[in-house]
Amino acid sequence: MATPQELSDFLAQVERRAFKQTAYAVRDDHVALDIVQDSMMKLSEKYAHRPVTEYPMLFQRILQNTTKDFWRRQKVRNLWTTLFSSFGSGQDDDETDPLEILGGDPDNDHDQPEAQLQRSQTLAIIEDAIKKLPARQREAFILRYWEDMDVAETAASMGCSQGSVKTHCSRAVHTLASILEKHGFSKPGI
Amino acid sequence: MKTEQENAKEIVNLLDEGTSQLDRKVLDRLYAARMKAVGQLAARRQTVAESEADGIGRVLRMSGDYMHQHRAVMPAVMIIGAALMLFVITQQLTNQPAIEQSDAFLLGSELPPEAFVDKGFDAWLARSSQR
């Protein structure tokens, strides 16, 4: 059984990425936080006896399954929210201020250096693009490149073949790179 | 033309910057969730340790309690047990020659004198004593 310190160190290392990854999938920060919290509790409750080296893969699997559970529960509710959202003010993602996504203070926009602002805008564009990726491509990209898992580990986490992982990753990177290029952010370091 | 890995690395660098700029409220909630999970694990480890120690301790306590309650008679029980063992052992040792003597007497009394000069009988006797 892992020690509390080992579990704490692992969760501290992955919690931010787990939140962002889930937020891309569910497009709601509060829901993403709930899912991440539930996943942490499940890891602690059911898999703490496993070696710490298995935690990255286990936690990713738990995160994905918890996210899928959320979507199952939302399946029926979405029918009604879709109906009512057409009458309400709603939330148009395309008009969202990128600085709000980053948690910045809109009143201080004019004080930010131009490079930092450009980078923030690039981040917002990429995050928006990731949200719009097909779910499997997004999962493959995040696990393979952001969580730094190898192809075999990614395939095990996703429950698919290694060939599928490579295909999903290739398509995801191609899509994201095309979007960056389209917005004029193709130079290195941008 | 950049490779897939190069493109991916640039994108990941951007995403990492995004995680470093998370809202304070989000960070606080993540911290609270982590502490809750760690607390749950710590509580379970405590429970497991207590139950293991309790199990072994219970057996020792019962043995000790039994011996303590019967401490007055324990020396007597041990002495009686030792005496019994001694009796059994000595009986085994003293009875063996007597049995051998009686067997020899029986054999000698029932046999005719001719049996003692019959070499075939000697061979038979040797065989039967080995069984």
- Cα dihedral B65, B67, B71, B77, rounded to 10, equals 160
pLDDT reading at B131 higher than 50: yes
pLDDT reading at B98 higher than 90: no
Closest chain B residue to A37 measured between Cα atoms?
B33
Distance of alpha carbon A55 from alpha carbon A77, whole angstroms: 33
Cβ–Cβ under 8 Å, residues A158 and A143: yes
Interface of B with A in 87-106 (CB under 8 A): none
Ranges A3-17, A90-104, A122-136: which has the least confidence: A90-104
Query: What is residue A145's DSSP assignment?
Result: I
**Interface predicted TM-score of the whole assembly (ipTM), two decimals:** 0.74
pLDDT given for residue B117 in this prediction: 66
| Residue B77 in contact with partner chain A when CB distance is under 8 A | no
Beta-carbon contacts of A36 under 8 Å, excluding residues fewer than 6 positions away, are A15, A18, A19, A22, A63, B30, B33
pLDDT reading at A188 higher than 50: no
pLDDT digits (tens, 9 = 90+) for A134-153: 999 999 999 999 999 999 99
Q: What is the largest CA-CA distance in chain B?
A: 122
Provide the whole-model pTM: 0.63
Percent residues over pLDDT 90 in chain B: 28
Q: Would you kindly state where each structural domain of chain B is located, as residue ranges?
A: 1-71, 73-131
| Residue B9 in contact with partner chain A when CB distance is under 8 A | yes
pLDDT reading at A106 higher than 70: no
Q: Taking CB atoms and an 8 Å cut-off, how many pairs form between chains A and B?
A: 113
DSSP 3-state of B77: helix
Q: Average the pLDDT over B76-91 and give the result.
A: 89
pLDDT given for residue B110 in this prediction: 64
Could you tell me which of B22, B102, B55, B106 has the C-alpha nearest to residue A20? B22
Torsion sign (Cα): B1, B3, B6, B7: positive
CATH class of the region A96-190: mainly alpha
pLDDT reading at B16 higher than 90: yes
Q: Would you kindly state where each structural domain of chain A is located, as residue ranges?
A: 1-89, 96-190
pLDDT reading at A30 higher than 90: yes
Distance of alpha carbon B26 from alpha carbon A103, whole angstroms: 10
Name the range with the highest mean pLDDT among A89-98, A179-188, B85-94.
Answer: B85-94
